[in-house]
Amino acid sequence: MSRARVYLICLLGSSLFGSSALVGCSEPAAQKDSASASTTSSGGKTAPSAKPGPSGNASTAASTTAAPSSSAMAKDAPKPASGEVTFVKKPAKVGEKTTKKSHRVTDMKFSVKGKEVPFHEEFDSEYTRETLAIDATSGLATKAKVTYAKHVKAQTTDGKAAPVDKVLDGKTFVIERKGTSIVVTDEAGKPVPAAEEKLVAKEHKSFGKADEATTALVAKPRKVGDDLSDVAKALALKMAGDDDGGNEVKDLKFSLKSIDATTSTFDTSFTAVGEKGDLTIKLAGTVKVQNDDVDLGEVNLSGPLTLTGKANATGTLTSTEVESH
């Protein structure tokens, strides 16, 4: 399953409802080290991705941008009845900083030539993204400075530790959306090493794009027990579209569990199937979002994963992602 990503978990974290993309998604070393037990996946289904926002060529500083204000957005939203919430999507602001923290743990047991091979991985990431420019028409951020306070991945296969991956740890980059691409440079605008450029662009591939899941959520007042199939459908499309590996997202459920004065909590579950159908991950958990800014919140998910074929494995995956100002 050399192409089927175990880390579909990060798709949900990046889709609800921030603009960040895949964070720390990679193939477990156990798959690479046990080439004889690997299988190449292909031919999976991929739903269309959300349409990107305008290119960075229309970017401008805050003093010259006529982006809608958050107060105006809230004022235009329908007035909620008691027990309802009208979620707000705030426009980007130059100088605004958002911090994202991610922690993910994967434990698997591979069956390789009759031998059970344990695999363990822990991934920790924390970065702050500062908006440098926004599009004057859409209000979407188009350029940002990203500083990684932490970006560490540690893997152990059959008791043997692999070199710790810290390629982005402690580094700062500038990202800019130009059409369908994310351009990555250092703070001086100079090119960065290819490995760093590829990983940063991948982790922020949704930056500057319109988010159809968010658009669906804020479209009308919501209350506990409402049918949120419109949000679930948009979210499933975004998750599949954000993944370029041909994986399929199935049976995604999304329901509003509770509302309080500042945040709302959703229950969610879905099944992710690898390109060739040999990898299945069933995840469930909760998503919390701020009522007055749905880009901020917390995602907690966990569940079993199963690999069948030339390589057989079972395991669990847990993940927590938090976005805040």
Least confident of 7-11, 151-155, 253-257: 7-11
Q: Is 214 helix (H, G, I), strand (E, B) or coil?
A: helix
Vertex 12 angle, CA 174 and 234, to 5°:
100
- What is the band of 27 on the pLDDT scale with cuts at 50, 70, 90? very low
Show the beta-strand stretches assigned E in 158-236: 160-161, 172-178, 181-185, 222-223
Backbone angles phi, psi at 254, to 5 degrees: -150, 115
pLDDT at residue 71, as a whole number: 39
pLDDT at residue 82, as a whole number: 56
> Any idea where the domains of the chain sit in the sequence?
9-324
pLDDT in tens, 260-317: 999 999 999 999 888 777 889 999 999 999 999 998 899 999 999 998 887 789 999 9
pLDDT at residue 244, as a whole number: 57
- What is the band of 133 on the pLDDT scale with cuts at 50, 70, 90? very high
Backbone angles phi, psi at 131, to 5 degrees: -70, 125
Least confident of 125-139, 176-190, 237-251: 237-251
pLDDT at residue 188, as a whole number: 97
- Please state, in angstroms and rounded to a whole number, the distance separating the CA atoms of residues 209 and 17: 12
pLDDT at 68 over 60: no
Above pLDDT 90, what percent of the chain?
A: 55
- What is the band of 62 on the pLDDT scale with cuts at 50, 70, 90? very low
Span 139-168, average pLDDT: 96
